Structures are given as structure tokens and as C-alpha cells.
A and B are shown apart, each in its own frame.
Chain A
Amino acid sequence: MNAAQKEHAPQSNTWRKAFAGTVAGISAAAQWVDTIAADRQLPEQLVFALQVCLEELLSNIVRHGGSESSGGLSRGAIPPVNVEITISLSNQGISMAVEDDGKPFDIASAPAHRIDQPLNAVEPGGLGIQLIRNFASTIAYERAGLGNRVVVEFLL
């Protein structure tokens, strides 16, 4: 099976694709997931939840995953980390595994923050983790695959 077939194999319930850990890579991954969702006619709310988690996981990797991360999304990590995403469909729902070879970071154990202070005291950090925990049914982290491996599940 060549790369194109592996990316989007007919009748397959599993898709896997590599992306660069860059802003352009995040957009490409979102479009790839939309293509799968349209092909399988997945429910809109489930696709939205999947996209929220994908976006937050990848933006975290781009901002913080590199050994020489600039801390800014305009440049991202230097050099960009490598990312691989696996989407699996089952009767129970959708599973999405995001692997990267950046710095070790257990996002499943990291603190989440909801805005709960006056506006002048708000520092909007940790909101992405808050969103992942609320939009995914489960989240798990392990050191596996490329290095970091996060699996989020969305139950039907």
C-alpha cells in the first residue's frame, strides 16, 4: 500500500498521517480530519469535539514541543517536531492518537484552568487543556510511538 492509499484507504476504519509541527501543519491536519468526517458522515457535534482536541493538542506541541521552542506560534519550535495522527472509528465512537517527538509532556496530568477570576486578573493559560478534558470522553498519555503519545476518545 502506498502513502496515498494508507492515508485514505476505502472501507478502512483507521487512518494515519504524518504532519509537521507547524501552524501550517495544524491547518493541514484539521482539513484531513474534515475529509474523513465528511467521507464517513460523522455527527457534527462529534466532529467539532474532535477538531477542538486536535487543535489544542497540536498547538501545544507547536508552541512547547521543540528543544529550542521560541515560545511563539509565528515561528514555532526550531526545528519543527514531527507529528503523526491516527484516527480510528468503531461502533463505540472515535479514537484519535497524536504522537510527537518533542519534549516529554504528560498533557493528561497537566493542570487545566477555567477562567474564574475578574477580567483584570485573567491570564489565559491552560484553557486548551480545559477544553480537551471537556470535549473528549477520555484522555490518556504514555511515552510510546514517536515519544509523546496522547489518545483521546469520543464516545457516541
Chain B
Amino acid sequence: MNVDIVDLDNGITNVLLSGRMDVQGALAVDRNFSAIADAKKKVVIDLSQVTFLASLGIRTLIMSCKTLASKGGNMVLLNPQPNVEKVLRTSGVDTVIQIVRDMNAAAAIFSK
């Protein structure tokens, strides 16, 4: 699993993930997510290139979002593939981390 972190001009941090966020993938990006949650505030997780999501990957997302929220930050999930979105909705992740289709929608959430 690869992770590409870009700080945008509008204060949003875009985290582009690619590959399988399975056990191995989640273990590989856990340290990146901890650092992001500690240092950033408005975080978009771009899931468009993620082909698989397991419960351990969900745990990584949830724990990072909790850390962000505890210091006034927020996280949104951008454009998951249909199968990955089914995992997110089946587990109820979408009830605590919003799913958006584009960066404008993400920016609107952060501006609230």
C-alpha cells in the first residue's frame, strides 16, 4: 500500500492511498496516519485508488479521525470505489466519517 501526502493551499491535507488496505496495508501506513493525525487538522483521505478495505484498515481510519477530532480537526473520505464503500457503510464508518465525491464537498465540510 502506498501513501502520498500533499498539503494544499487551502489548508487541507490530501492523503492519497493506493493498493489494498488489508492487514499488511494497514500496518504499513499506521505510522503515516499517526503523524498526520498529530500534525494536521483538515484531512482528506482519497480512497479512489484503494481496491480493498479490511477491519484493521477501518481501525486505522477511526483512530486517526478520533485524534483529529480531539484537537478540533476533521477527516473526510473521498471517492471510495463501490466495493470499498460497501465495507464502509456495512461497518457504519459513514456515520462518523463523512464520505464525499469531490474536493469542493470536502472543503464545504471543513468550512462549517
Verify A131–B87 contact, CB threshold 8 A: yes
Q: Is the CB of A128 within 8 A of B54?
A: yes
- Residue from B62, B63, B83 within 8 A of A48 (CB atoms): B83
Shortest Cβ gap from B89 to chain A (Å): 10
Q: Restricting to A16-63, which residues have a CB under 8 Å from any CB of B?
A: 23, 26-27, 30, 44-45, 48, 51-52, 55-56, 58-59, 62
Is B58 within 8 A of A51, CB to CB?
Answer: no
With contacts A26-B24, A73-B23, A124-B55 known, is A118 near B91, CB below 8 A? no
Please indicate which of the listed interface residues B56, B58, B59 has the most CB atoms of chain A within 10 Å of its own CB. Answer: B56
Complex CA–CA separation, A91 to B93 (angstroms): 35
Asked if residues B54 and A122 are in contact (CB atoms below 8 Å), the reply is no
Beta-carbon nearest neighbor of B95 in chain A: A115
Asked if A73 and B27 sit within 8 Å, CB to CB, the answer is yes
Q: Which residues of A contact B59 (CB under 8 A)?
A: 124, 127
- The SS class assigned to the B binding surface is helix
CB-based contact A26/B22 at 8 Å = yes
B96 and A115 within 8 A (CB): yes
A31 vs B55: C-alpha distance in the bound complex, in angstroms?
19
The complex places the Cα of A58 from the Cα of B66 at a distance, in Å, of: 27
Residue in chain B with minimal CB distance to A55: B54
A43 to B80, CA, bound (A): 20
Q: Mark B83-98, 1 if CB is under 8 A from A, else 0.
A: 1000100111101110
Q: B62 contacts which chain A residues (CB < 8 A)? A: 115, 119, 122, 124
Interface residues of A in 52-84 (CB under 8 A from B): 52, 55-56, 58-59, 62, 73-74
**Pairs of residues from A and B, 6 with the lowest C-beta to C-beta distance, nearest first:** A115-B92, A128-B55, A127-B55, A119-B96, A114-B92, A124-B59
The chain B residues found within 8 Å of chain A, CB to CB, are 20, 22-24, 27, 52, 54-56, 58-59, 62-63, 65-66, 69-70, 83, 87, 90-93, 95-97
